[in-house]
Amino acid sequence: SENGIAQPPEGVGLEGLRSAAAGCRACELGEPATQTVFGEGPETARVVLVGEQPGDQEDRTGEPFVGPAGKLLDRALADAGIERRDAYVTNAVKHFRFTVKGKRRIHQTPGPEHLRACRPWLEAEFVVLKPEVVVCLGATAAKALISPSFRITQDRGHLLPWIPPGAEAAPDEADEDEDAPSQTWMLATTHPSAVLRTPEESRAGAYDALVADLAVVASALA
């Protein structure tokens, strides 16, 4: 395969990572996409929300979760009591993968090779952000970050103890890191796009379930 693996620079902060990711060609998705869509949010965010990959509008604007799914996510975060200043949003894969059908660009789920190639960017974001809670939005992020056998419908909404990247390798250094939270969690929930695709008669319930899972995240921050 022509896929490599991203090699983020160290010690450059989020803006340095964003600049470096702009030129990433670790996999073939960088060429047809308009631009890299890096994560967005304050460096002091306590929660990192991880989606699948940018959609059409994100690819055009360069910002994650600005399309319909992002609008729904913003509302759900507010309803769950998570403030925007506490939240950083990003994606497991940072380029839009699509096929062209006439004038339309049709979303294609990223493959394991794209997740693997892009993974170092996500880990580098975690290293800088030191989140207290990582939220997997949907099956792609949950399978990549928690377990390939993860089932959203069965296992959603639970706080799972999470060891941030680097902490296993250097426990002494992690202990010395005074900004690192002492307990860190991961939680998976449904993707906001899945709520939008839910048939009308059950959509309100699907939205409420997303808010309920995000309220579990909010309770971990209290």
Piece of the chain touching ligand URA by CB under 6 A; list 4-12, 50-58, 121-129, 205-213: 50-58
193 makes contact with ligand URA (CB under 6 A)? yes
Interatomic CA distance for residues 122 and 110, integer angstroms = 15
167 or 209: CB nearest ligand URA: 209
57 or 180: CB nearest ligand URA: 57
Spell out, one character per residue from 87 to 106, where the chain touches ligand URA: x when CB under 6 A holds, - when not. Answer: ----x---------------
25 or 107: CB nearest ligand URA: 107
54 makes contact with ligand URA (CB under 6 A)? yes
8 or 110: CB nearest ligand URA: 110
Instruction: Tell me the closest approach of the beta carbon of residue 132 to ligand URA, in angstroms.
Output: 22
With CB under 6 A as the contact rule, the residue among 8, 17, 33, 58 that binds ligand URA is: 58
Interatomic CA distance for residues 195 and 203, integer angstroms = 6
Helices and strands of the chain, counted as H and E runs: 9, 7
CA 183 to chain centre: 20
Task: Locate the DSSP E strands across 98-169.
Answer: 98-101, 104-107, 133-137, 160-161
Interatomic CA distance for residues 139 and 110, integer angstroms = 12
For residue 209, give every residue at least 6 positions away whose Cβ sits within 8 Å of its Cβ, in sequence order, or none.
Answer: 156, 157, 189, 190
Residues near ligand URA (CB under 6 A), total: 13
Helix (H, G, I), strand (E, B) or coil at 12: coil
Nearest residue by C-beta to ligand URA? 51
Interatomic CA distance for residues 102 and 191, integer angstroms = 27
Instruction: Tell me the closest approach of the beta carbon of residue 84 to ligand URA, in angstroms.
Output: 15
Instruction: Tell me the closest approach of the beta carbon of residue 54 to ligand URA, in angstroms.
Output: 5
Residue 102, Cβ neighbours under 10 Å: how many?
Answer: 6
Interatomic CA distance for residues 70 and 89, integer angstroms = 9
With CB under 6 A as the contact rule, the residue among 17, 48, 69, 187 that binds ligand URA is: 69
41 makes contact with ligand URA (CB under 6 A)? no
Which positions touch ligand URA (CB under 6 A)? 51-55, 58, 64-65, 67, 69-70, 91, 193
